[in-house]
Each structure stands twice: as C-alpha cells, then as structure tokens.
C-alpha cells in the first residue's frame, strides 16, 4: 500500500546511508561520551531541537549485531525520553540528538536488552557482545502535541486507513469476509421478527466507536433509539447496507470503512477524514 511503501522506502534510504557511512565492528569513527557511551553521527542538524526528559521522540531505528545481522527495525516509532537507567544507556544517547540527526550507538547488548528494554537477550547475542542501534530523530513532541500528531499520521489517506483496518481485524480476530462494498457485518444475535427492507421505518440503538476504541456517539447514553427510513440515504451507506441484513430483535457489529461513512472529508470535529467506524447496533423495531 502507498503509506507502507513510502515508509519502507524511507527506511531503505536511511539504512543505505548508514551502511555506506560504515558503522562497523571497529572503533573507527566512534566517539566516547563522558558516560562511556560510544556513538557516531552520520548527519547532524545543529539547528534542530534537542529533546528534554518527558518529550515524545519520533524516530526510525535499526538494531543489528556487530556483523550487520538485522535484529529489529521500525520506520516510525515513538518513545518518551527518560532519565538514564544506567550510565551510558540508550536514553543517554537520545538526549544528545537533535531533530534530523542520524547516529549509530554501540551499546552492550546485555545491558541494552535486560536493563533498558526489560526483555531477555535475543539469541543473536552472547553476553558481552555489542548491539549497534541506528537512529534517525524525525520529530519531538510534548504530551499536548501527541494526540494532534497521532491523528495527522493515522488519518492521512485511504491507504493508511486500510493498513489500520487490517491491524484492527487482526487484533480483534475478525474473520468474516467483507461484502462487495467493503462492509464487515458481524451478527451477534439473530433477529426473529420482521426483516428490514428498503422503505422500512426502523428504530435502533447504537454505539459508535473509532477503531482505536473511542466512543463518539451512543443512543444508549441518551436513552432514545434512532428512528430512520431504511434505504433513503437518511443515514450513512454502511448503515443502509448493514440494517438490510438484519431482522427485528437482531444485534450486530458493523465495521464500516470511510467510503461507506464520512469519507475523506470526515464529519465536523467528531469524525476525522478516512476514519473506519465500528457500530454495535440493535434493531428494536421494523415498521
């Protein structure tokens, strides 16, 4: 997808740059911080902002063995800068960076994984081995900026929306196939009453969420069901299609991509552009 390809391409360029710069097994080119941290800059931006403890750092990174074997990587990763866990740790290095800097840190693998990352030493390393951590500092955010940045990143285009939808389906173990239009209809309770058809007057309760779980509207909270005529464009397309698959007394979950909801424009300040919506609905009455 477009968004994923762009991020992958960016990382490939970064990795190529670092490889050419030669962050290798020796100490050539490395400097030593007063804390004992070994580092080597590839790009330096003296005009860039420097993070402070508590700031959110947006980085891309790659971790390798001394022989260049890849252990982990990400083109988009956020972490909060904290005080050092031990002398010369990863956060010591992050604190000396400025936005748009690229650097390689050479760290003791055991200390890095066991003390900083709170996880077991990966099988690629033996105790005493170094780990090379390549970092590009892309942005610095404070807590107030975090939500704005998150929304800008996650609602940039339809390709990004589809990536997030794929992640949501995987995390929620959703295995139903979408309809031809792209609607995901998950029946929770089969209705035994009158079937909803175009032209039916429907009473329904609903709770609407974004795929990150935030409730933006609920008729249950108001205590009054929504009443509308099915198939007349009075509601979003995903609702017209979804309720037509139900009968009175039924309950379902509707996962509705943006092109069946509020599209690239969104809705006021409530629904952002390219937002997939999740509705838990109850079909109370069909007239």
Rounded to two decimals, the pTM is: 0.51
User: Would residue 39 show up in a list of annotated catalytic residues for this protein?
Assistant: no
Set 140, 236, 256, 271: catalytic member: 236
**pLDDT tens, residue by residue, 1-39:** 334 433 333 333 334 333 334 455 445 689 999 999 999
The third-level CATH classification (topology) of the domain covering 2-147 is: Chitinase A; domain 3 (3.10.50)
Percent of the chain with pLDDT over 70: 85
Whole-number pLDDT of residue 173: 84
pLDDT band of 243, cuts 50, 70, 90:
very high
- In the chain, what are the domain boundaries? 2-147, 173-286
Residue range 69-93: mean pLDDT, rounded: 89
Asked whether the beta carbons of 130 and 26 are under 8 A apart, the reply is no
Quote the distance between the C-alpha of residue 199 and its chain's center.
40
Task: Check if 2-147 and 173-286 are the same fold.
Answer: yes
In the residue annotation, 279 being an active-site residue is answered as: yes
Taking the C-alpha atoms of residue 119 and residue 130, their distance in angstroms, rounded to an integer, is: 16
Note if 72 is an active site residue: no
pLDDT at 29: 83
User: Does the domain at residues 173-286 carry the CATH identifier 3.10.50.40?
Assistant: yes
Q: What percent of the chain has pLDDT over 90?
A: 61
Mean pLDDT of 46-68: 91
The token duo for 143 is 């807590």
**Is 280 in the active site?**
no
Of 159, 217, 259, 280, catalytic: 217
* Annotated active-site residue in 140, 262, 274, 284: 262
Cα dihedral across residues 196, 202, 205, 208: positive or negative = positive
- Catalytic: which of 30, 110, 216, 267? 216
Instruction: Establish how many alpha carbons lie within 13 A of residue 14's alpha carbon, considering only the half-sphere containing its beta carbon.
Output: 27
Q: How far apart are CA 134 and CA 258, in angstroms?
A: 37
Task: Name the residue with higher pLDDT: 228 or 173.
Answer: 228
Confirm whether 206 is a catalytic residue: yes
Give me the catalytic one of 61, 112, 274, 279: 279
* CB within 8 Å of 101: residues ≥ 6 apart: 41, 43, 44, 45, 48, 136, 137
């Amino acid at each position: 997808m477009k968004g994923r390809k762009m991020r992958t391409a960016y990382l490939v360029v970064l990795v190529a740059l670092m490889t050419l710069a030669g962050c290798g097994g020796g100490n050539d080119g490395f400097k030593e911080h007063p804390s004992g941290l070994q580092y080597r800059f590839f790009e330096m931006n003296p005009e860039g902002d420097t993070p402070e403890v508590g700031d959110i750092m947006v980085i891309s990174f790659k971790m390798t063995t001394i022989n260049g074997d890849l252990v982990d990587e990400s083109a988009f990763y956020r972490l909060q800068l904290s005080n050092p866990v031990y002398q010369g740790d990863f956060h010591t290095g992050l604190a000396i960076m400025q936005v748009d800097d690229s650097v390689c840190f050479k760290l003791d693998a055991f200390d890095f994984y066991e003390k900083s990352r709170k996880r077991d030493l990966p099988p690629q390393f033996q105790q005493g081995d170094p780990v090379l951590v390549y970092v590009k500092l892309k942005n610095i955010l404070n807590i107030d900026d975090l939500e704005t940045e998150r929304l800008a990143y996650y609602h940039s285009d339809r390709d990004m929306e589809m990536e997030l939808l794929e992640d949501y389906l995987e995390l929620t173990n959703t295995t139903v196939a979408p309809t031809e239009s792209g609607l995901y209809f998950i029946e929770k309770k089969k209705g035994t009453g009158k079937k909803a058809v175009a032209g039916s007057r429907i009473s329904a309760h609903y709770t609407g969420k974004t795929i990150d779980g935030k409730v933006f509207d609920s008729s249950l909270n108001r205590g009054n069901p929504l009443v509308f005529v099915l198939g007349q464009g009075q509601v979003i397309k995903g609702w017209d299609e979804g309720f037509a698959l139900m009968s009175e007394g039924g309950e379902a979950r509707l996962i509705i991509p943006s092109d069946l909801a509020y599209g690239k424009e969104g809705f006021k300040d409530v629904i952002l552009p390219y937002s997939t919506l999740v509705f838990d609905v109850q079909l109370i009455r069909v007239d």
